[in-house]
Structure 1
Amino acid sequence: MTSRVTFISPAMNAALRQARFDDGRTPLDTTGAAQAAAAAGTLPSPARVLTSPSSRCQETAEALGLLGLLGPAIPELAALDVGRWRGRSLDEVSAAEPEPVGRWLTDPGCAPHGGESVRDLCDRVARWLTTAQDLDGRTLAVVEPEIVRAAVLHALGMPTAAFWRLDVAPLTATELSGRAGRWNLRLGRPLAAPDTD
């Protein structure tokens, strides 16, 4: 059996625009909600829809018209826990704690904020992907960008040190298909309908 998981990155919100460590409760902004609504109907029909627990992921799924298929939020697909940095911008944290931020960005096993390390996040997503291979049909998962990064690293067998070198744009689809522990990858398809001009 071939398993198919399409990861959708959420639409924009104020936290993303400000490079702020989101607390999971920041809603989509007006532009993000409108862009997600405009992309409704551009995705293949799924057997199930899953989300990260954050407001922006759940609101993106709703704006994409996926509410009728929406299952519960999946804790394994939650955003990286940044501990005491939650709610602060990267600039603020970098000014107050330059050395810890530097270590965090270069050492995947480091968690100076008291939360979760990048390595722990990648391990969590890898475990979830192992179970996802047993799901029948297409799964759409509206998830935080760091979940997409971790899934790509696992699918390609890349080192966790490459985590911060992967950019995930808002409202893009990253598709994994695989069987027997091997994944193939299709990166960053925009959700907006193509221009017909």
Structure 2
Amino acid sequence: MVHGVESALTVRVILISPAMNPGLREARFEGDAPLDEAGTRRARAAAGGVPDADLCLSGGSERCLRTAEVLGLQPVSELALADWAMGRWRGKRLSDVSDSEPEAVASWLADPDAAPHGGESLSNLSARVGGWLDGLEEGSGRVLAVVEPAVVRAAIVHGLGLPSSAFWRLDVPPLTRTELSGRQGRWNLMCGQAL
């Protein structure tokens, strides 16, 4: 009986990273673009591995919404789960920005409060995603969200109370599932599961 009570109070958050697209392949900041043929094909093949959920959400990027559609989901777009806002770097390749603004990129990578691009700092991204995660009510059941890799990484860092520098050490491949489960502010992590 106690086990059942604990299970009812646990929130399970399943974060699915979207399929590949040209922006991700080219390492572009906020590289929102339609899925390419290979990404669509892989998402279609993975659709059978998507778990059931009580609530289905998505980041607002075309890549997230299209991946969710191909996976057979009908998500609600959630503003708190939007991709990392990169200001004037949006759409640019990391390599190009590194060449033209090396000091700005170095600052951005070293200081979680830096936002030389005029967009969101890492601290702001983590606070936004962490606020959403902490705002989920106990007993919400399974919450599934198709979100960009930066959102997955921010959720892991926040949920586990890791230092901001850990964000840069996490890789989130396309079409993988990361699960955070917890209650009363205590989160456990299951990561890197292929769909």
Range of TM-score over shorter length:
over 0.9
Query: What does residue range 81-160 of structure 1 map to in structure 2 within 5 Å?
Result: 81-134=85-138, 136-160=140-164
What do residues 101-125 of structure 1 show as CA deviations (whole Å, max 9, x unaligned)?
A: 0111111110000001001100111
C-alpha contact 1:2 1:133 (8 A) present in aligned 2 = no
Tell me the SS of whatever aligns to 1:175: strand
Taking only the aligned residue pairs, the percentage that are identical comes to 55
CA–CA distance in structure 2, aligned partners of residues 77 and 32 of structure 1: 21
Paired residue for 1:5? 13
The one-letter amino acid paired with 1:45 is D
- Give the drift of 1:135: 5.7
**CA separation of 1:126/1:79 partners in 2, compared to 1, >3 Å: closer, same or farther?**
same
CA–CA distance in structure 2, aligned partners of residues 133 and 101 of structure 1: 37
C-alpha contact 1:133 1:178 (8 A) present in aligned 2 = no
Give the paired residue count.
Answer: 187
C-alpha contact 1:126 1:150 (8 A) present in aligned 2 = yes
Paired residue for 1:163? 167
Is 2:54 aligned against 1:50?
no
Structure 1 ranges of 4+ moved more than 4 A:
none
C-alpha contact 2:24 2:31 (8 A) present in aligned 1 = no
Tell me the SS of whatever aligns to 1:46: coil
CA–CA distance in structure 1, aligned partners of residues 35 and 163 of structure 2: 32
Is 2:69 aligned against 1:62?
yes
Paired residue for 1:39? 46
CA–CA distance in structure 2, aligned partners of residues 44 and 22 of structure 1: 27
The one-letter amino acid paired with 1:157 is G
Unaligned runs of 5+ in 2: 1-8
Paired residue for 1:190? 194
What do residues 61-96 of structure 1 show as CA deviations (whole Å, max 9, x unaligned)?
A: 0111112xx22x111111111100001100111111
What do residues 142-180 of structure 1 show as CA deviations (whole Å, max 9, x unaligned)?
A: 001001001101111101122111111110000011011
Paired residue for 2:27? 19
Query: What TM-score do the two structures reach when normalised by structure 1?
Result: 0.92
Paired residue for 1:195? none
Query: What TM-score do the two structures reach when normalised by structure 2?
Result: 0.93
Tell me the SS of whatever aligns to 1:41: helix
CA–CA distance in structure 2, aligned partners of residues 83 and 134 of structure 1: 35
